[in-house]
Each structure stands twice: as structure tokens, then as C-alpha cells.
Structure 1
């Protein structure tokens, strides 16, 4: 599939722009490429396509015989990239190029996927090979995974564009290996989740995050490295490097880790699917309190936390569930 879907530098910037009406031209629809270069509101997507070296022309028809010559792109706006702290072309240097490229492919569908086909519970494939899920909330708003669909059927000569408010993220591997990818700098140039990985190994919980074929999906709240360092200050036990986790009793660390895992009916949930303003049971048995759904995210609080955690990178799709990276350790 990928050989058909590379997007030449800037192409993915896709006329998300078309939202401005450019693609509604009844006489001659511009190509996705033409739309991409006309609107500065999608500059960061263009910059991402350049850095990601996604090189197949979305300015031409799709060469996949089954596509009808069309592409469909879920296109993040500049504001969507800003939610991840990516505001300029230089900021994109914080991501490994291979991960950025895979992320761009996750936004592309080979063929026509009209807005009328985006029905609640439906799924669609992507050029990455990982499917995406359509979610409709009670208020009628439509989401692809955790990203709100801002509009549909922006027409280009060679396809359709659906603008979205968050960048879609998928790893293509299980939760444990997703964390290991972050820890080993395969996602960000700077390592992340290093304390979490150390804690999981210390408590021998690798199997719990790997899952087995057919096992129920999980929702995991994954604290950042800074979250663990802040916990050390709170406990009066300096946690300056991952190995310092081992200063704490293994039983204590195990209880804390299990407090970040939710299964059962709330396993594998994206942000718009999580039950807001209520509590859910963690794998450790203690409750985890979810705040209101605002701007596409929810706060999360453990029973012993005085301040809730914020989602800093929500809705990361893994093969056995969904990960939401948070800025505070949840205490049972």
C-alpha cells in the first residue's frame, strides 16, 4: 500500500485548506497539492510532510488500481500540531523521521472515503496498515479515534479531505513495545517514558502490557519522566534517573503501576469514549477519577492525588489498547 501513498513534500498539507472554500470550485477542482499550498493554516502539515520525506504525489491520481485514482486524507490543522508542542518546522526535529513518516501515512486512505461513510463504530484502513475507528458522541460530534472531524468531503481533483483537530497517532505494536520505542528514542529524539519502562521491568509487569492474542484491550495512562521526578519530590525520595525507582518497595511500585491500567468495559478507549465525570476501576482495584471531556481530553486522578493529571499526548493507538500520556503519577 505504501508504494502508492507517499506524499510529496507539502502535499499532505492537503487542502485542509479547502475548508476555506477553495475546493468548492464548481468549474475545476484543484488537486490536493494545489490546495495544500494555498492556505497558511496548514503550514505545519506541509512542514511535516517535507521532514517525513513522504514522497508520493498527492498532486496526481492515486496509482493503486483499486483506489479509483483517489486519496482520502484526515488532515490535522496547525492547531492540531500545536497540541503536541509542534508549532514550527524546527519543532518537528524533536521527532524521529521514520516515526513522523509513519504518522503521516496513518492519516491517508487509498480510495474515496466519503463523509457519509464515517458512521459510528465503522473502521477504515490506512496507508500505515492500522485501522481507525469512527466515534459519535451524544452531542452528535464525530471523531476519528480521538480526533474531532471538523469538516468532511473537501473536494480535490484527486480525492477528499476531512480536516481534524488532533494528530492521529498509532504505533503498530503493543503497549509495552510502544513504551520501549519511546524509551529507546525511536519516537522522540530525546528518550521518554524511561522511568515507566524501568518500573514495569522492576515489577515484572511486562506480560500485563503485552497481552496475548484475543485478550481484551487496555486503556493505559502513562506518566512522563517528569511526572516520576515530581513524585520523588513529593515522597522525599529523589528520583533523578530511572534506576532510582528501585529505591521504592516493589510492592508499592506495583500497586502504583496497576493504578494506571484500566480494562473491562473501559479498556481500549479513546478520549471521546471515556465516561466523563465519573470513576472507573483500575487493574489494581483502586478507583481512577475521570474529569469532564473538554477540548478533546479529560483529566485523570488517583484516589490519593490532590491534583489531577492532564493528558499531554492522548489517544495513542496500540495493537492491544490505547495509551494516554499524562503529566502526573496516579496514586491509589
Structure 2
């Protein structure tokens, strides 16, 4: 893991170098395992910042949780061109969520400890029964790759945080503030139709939620199955409000399983949804779990964007509507 480094690239490009005490950026340039992160840093306009001394730390240090190429590939981001599907401000904020102002060595990454990010929202360290270590839902592949201006901890999934509650995070996706192409538009319409906006917005100090958020295509597929074409979000209103409300509540989990990342959800277990119906979780495999509603039969939903940190919980975007 010591061979892994953060692939950040200074704006305008810079040559690979072998200086004795390289910066984070210089380490990155020579490491192909972080090519997508390098491209993201350029597009997000943070490469020069992380190639220099940190002005926000007395010792000039950064600590960076660094997603590998494979981590970005989980989100369908394999190249610089792929990154253009994300709005630049969101990409920049996402990169800042990976950064700690100061030195956060591996020995400080203890279970249940939290650390603020340069974006603001905190990240939580989780240790699983097999002794593997995670930051939120991302596995820490190695620690303490040293650079002249800080430390690098490689991880296997991109860390995501919105800085907003579940409702407003969904609205940001619906308005195209995250992806250039709007997403979760059907979910937002369903929430408004059933007057559940207040429940997803939460209240200060309220109990955290775990929310499974179906994609637009998941709702379209549901319409095909029901024989009620859902060609646009407003078509959700063709369905009885009580039915839509029951379905939505089946995607929300609170109580002891509220606010959980994939790394801490109980695998091969059944949890109770906010609507009272059971939701079955599959095995923890490659950092994600399948999810199945009682009315889905043997059909399971996959997590396509897991572990999105919101101010009142965690959202996992899934590819199938969970039926109660």
C-alpha cells in the first residue's frame, strides 16, 4: 500500500519527478492507480492547492483519503470525459470531503472516531468484525503514504457528502446540481405527492435515517410492471396516494439502523422500515449489500451509489423500487 499515492495533477500539467521529498501532487503524477483522481483534481480545481503547503494548518499539512481508479469506476467514472457528467462545484466539494486540514495518521483512525473534512461534514471510522477498517462506507486500503505536505490514505470508494438533509439532497439531484442530467426526479415527485417532505427533512437533533432512494429508471420499471406507464415524474400521481406513501415509507429505516453506512448495516438480516414492512439486506459483498422489499419476491435491488452522507442520515441510491 505504501506504493499507492494520490493522483493529483497541477493545473497546466507538470512533469513527473523523483525529488527526495515530493509533495502530494508530485507523488500522484508518477502513480497510474490514481489517474481518475488526477483528472478529477484538475476539473475540480484543487490540484495546485494540494501540491503546496496547507495555509490552514500551522505545519502546512493535509491528510487525504484517496480513491483509486476502481473507486471512481464504481460510479461509472473511468476517464476525464466521464467526469463531465458531474457539475464542477459538486465535484470540487466532493474532493474537499476527502481532505483533512492537518495530520491525521493511521494510528488516529480508531473505531467510532470522527474527523472534520475540509468541506465541513465529518467522516466516521468503522472497524468490521474481520478487522478491516473503513471511513464511512469506504475501505481503507493503506495508511500513511508520506508526502512533504501531508499524508495519503488510499480508499476503495469515493466519499460522498451533500451538506444538506435527505430531502434537499434529493432536490439537488432533481435540479441537476449534482449530475448534469437530473436524477431522483420521480422520488422527489412522489415525496411531494404524499406530503412526506417534512419527514425526510428531519429536525435538528432528530434521529438519523437510512434511506434507500430508487433511481428514475427504477420507477419507470415499476410502472411497466404495474401496467401504468410512468413516462414522466408527474405520472406518479396516477397511482393512489396511499399506495405511493406506503411504498416510500418502505425505503426509510430509522431506529438502531438509522444513519448507517454499508460497512455497518447488518448483512443477511431483516430490518423494519418506517412503514412497518420488513426490508431484507443481503450479504456485504465488495462494499455493498443488496436490498429487497417484502413484495419484491426474489428480485433484489442493487446499490448504484452507496453511502451518501447527509446531515440527517445516509442515502443509498438503488436500482429497484422496494415494495412492501
TM-score of the aligned structures, taking structure 2 as reference length: 0.94
- Residue 3 of structure 2 corresponds to which residue in structure 1? none
- Residue 125 of structure 2 corresponds to which residue in structure 1? 134
Work out the CA distance in 2 between the residues paired with 1:184 and 1:148: 31
Work out the CA distance in 1 between the residues paired with 2:8 and 2:151: 18
Unaligned runs of 5+ in 1: 1-6, 13-21
SS of corresponding position for 1:316: strand
1:64 equivalent to 2:56? Answer yes
CA RMSD of aligned residues (A): 1.7
- Residue 143 of structure 1 corresponds to which residue in structure 2? 134
Aligned with residue 31 of structure 1, among 19, 23, 36: 23
1:165: how far off? 0.2
**Maintained 8 Å contact 1:8/1:54:** no
Work out the CA distance in 1 between the residues paired with 2:7 and 2:68: 18
Unaligned runs of 5+ in 2: 1-5, 12-16
1:48 equivalent to 2:40? Answer yes
- Residue 96 of structure 1 corresponds to which residue in structure 2? 87
Work out the CA distance in 1 between the residues paired with 2:139 and 2:103: 20
Work out the CA distance in 2 between the residues paired with 1:177 and 1:313: 17
1:105: how far off? 0.4
Work out the CA distance in 1 between the residues paired with 2:40 and 2:178: 14
- Residue 166 of structure 2 corresponds to which residue in structure 1? 175
TM-score of the aligned structures, taking structure 1 as reference length: 0.92
**Maintained 8 Å contact 1:11/1:33:** yes
1:80: how far off? 0.3
**Maintained 8 Å contact 1:9/1:53:** no
**Maintained 8 Å contact 1:8/1:53:** no
Aligned residues: 313
Work out the CA distance in 1 between the residues paired with 2:201 and 2:51: 40
Listed as ranges, the matches of 1:1-332 within 5 Å are 10=9, 28-54=20-46, 56-66=48-58, 68-306=59-297, 307-332=299-324
**Regions of 4+ moved over 3 Å:** none
1:39: how far off? 1.1
1:64: how far off? 2.0
Work out the CA distance in 2 between the residues paired with 1:133 and 1:65: 21
